[in-house]
């Protein structure tokens, strides 16, 4: 009986957990691992209640949530672990002071397309870790330098497509510590009040160009060094092969005379002399000529001598 009871209790608990999971997925937000809540495009007019307090990501984009409403402000202030907050495409005409004061771990805040008209100087108070602030496509006419005082870690500020007409020197000084500032498509007044912004932009372009060229220069230098080393290695290898080839060539030239001498000896033994060659050629050209071997000539001379001797002897008698 006890085993049956425990099985029944387990079944009830399992069913309850499944129902809660279904409710979470079918509710106004999709909760992932109690850390991420996706509530985009749900026609919400307020921040959902009972959100996990350990949320790090909250997406409330494309709704009608007014973050300046007291109830919504309190619900947002309770999410102290938020790192990413997307409130884009909501209706937030005024950013009141300190509405994000407790979100000290927040790094990305997206307030684009929120129809913001008034931006209080202390609206971003307490955002000590904020790195990216997106305010593009609003109606902001002025941005006080105090608005950026607490955001010491800010690296990206997007103010594109607003109603800004001038930028004070104090605000430009705040921009000095920001890596990227977007100011395009604003209602700038082209008079002397715009000169500080123009001068600042020229300085930024002048100071930014060498760094890019310098970084490219390092790449070019490394490439040149690699090519130079490669050519040096090729030249050294070529020189070594050339010397080796020259050594082989000289060695082969030393061996050639021996072969030539032997060949000359062989030829001298086999080939007849030049005089014999002339005789052979004469015989070939004049085959009817008899060879004078000198024997008849010697006898003829001796016969004449004997006749003269005999005649001389005959006369003396």
Q: What is the DSSP track for 181-218? A: EE--S-----SGGGHHHHHHHHHHHHHHHHHHHHHHHH
The C-alpha atoms of residue 24 and residue 21 are separated, in whole angstroms, by 5
Half-sphere exposure for 208 (CA within 13 Å, toward CB): 9
Please report which helix (H) or strand (E) contains residue 58, including its range. Answer: strand 57-59
- Tell me the CB-side half-sphere exposure of residue 91, using CA atoms within 13 A: 7
Residue 91 to residue 68: CA distance in whole angstroms:
10
Other C-beta atoms lying within 10 Å of the C-beta of residue 109: 22
pLDDT tens string, the chain, 317 residues long: the values are 454 544 544 554 555 454 444 434 446 899 998 899 999 999 999 999 889 999 999 999 999 999 888 999 999 999 999 999 999 999 999 998 989 999 999 999 999 999 999 999 999 999 999 999 999 999 999 999 999 989 999 999 999 999 998 888 888 888 888 999 999 999 888 777 777 777 777 777 776 644 444 445 556 666 766 787 776 787 777 666 666 566 656 655 555 555 544 444 444 444 555 555 555 555 555 555 555 555 444 444 454 444 454 444 444 44
139 secondary structure, DSSP code: -
Architecture of domain 33-189: Alpha-Beta Horseshoe (3.80)
Helix (H) or strand (E) holding 132: strand 132-134
Query: Would you call 286 helix, strand, or coil by DSSP?
Result: coil
Please tell me what DSSP assigns to residue 131.
-
- Find where tokens 């390092």 sit: 218
Q: Which residues contact 134 (CB under 8 A, 6 or more apart)?
A: 88, 108, 109, 110, 111, 112, 156, 158
Compute the distance between CA of residue 42 and CA of residue 61 in angstroms, rounded to an integer: 9
Look up residue 29 and give its two tokens. 């937000």
110 contacts 86 by C-beta, under 8 angstroms: yes
Structure token pair of residue 301: 């001379």
pTM value is 0.58
């Amino acid at each position: 009986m006890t085993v049956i009871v425990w099985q029944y209790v387990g079944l009830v608990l399992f069913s309850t957990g499944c129902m809660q999971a279904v409710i979470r997925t079918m509710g106004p937000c999709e909760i992932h691992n109690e850390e991420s809540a996706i509530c985009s495009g749900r026609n919400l007019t307020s921040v959902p209640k009972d959100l996990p307090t350990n949320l790090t990501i909250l997406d409330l984009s494309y709704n009608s949530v007014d973050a300046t409403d007291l109830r919504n402000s309190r619900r947002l202030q309770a999410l102290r672990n938020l790192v990413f907050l997307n409130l884009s495409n909501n209706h937030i005409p005024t950013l009141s002071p300190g509405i994000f004061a407790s979100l000290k771990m927040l790094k990305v805040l997206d307030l684009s397309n929120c129809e913001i008209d008034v931006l209080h100087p202390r609206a971003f108070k307490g955002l000590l870790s904020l790195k990216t602030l997106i305010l593009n496509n609003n109606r902001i006419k002025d941005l006080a330098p105090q608005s950026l005082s607490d955001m010491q870690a800010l690296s990206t500020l997007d103010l594109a497509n607003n109603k800004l007409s001038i930028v004070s020197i104090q605000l430009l000084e705040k921009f000095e510590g920001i890596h990227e500032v977007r100011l395009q498509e604003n209602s700038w007044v082209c008079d002397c009040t715009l000169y500080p912004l123009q001068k600042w932009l020229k300085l930024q372009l002048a100071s930014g160009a060498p760094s890019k060229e310098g970084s490219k220069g390092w790449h070019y230098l490394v490439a040149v060094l690699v090519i130079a080393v490669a050519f040096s290695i090729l030249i050294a290898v070529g020189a070594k092969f050339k010397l080796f080839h020259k050594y082989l060539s000289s060695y082969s030239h030393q061996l050639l005379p021996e072969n030539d001498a032997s060949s000359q000896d062989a030829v001298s033994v086999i080939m007849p002399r030049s005089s014999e060659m002339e005789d052979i050629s004469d015989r070939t050209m004049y085959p009817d000529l008899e060879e004078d071997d000198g024997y008849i000539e010697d006898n003829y001379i001796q016969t004449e001598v004997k006749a003269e001797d005999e005649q001389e002897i005959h006369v003396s008698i």
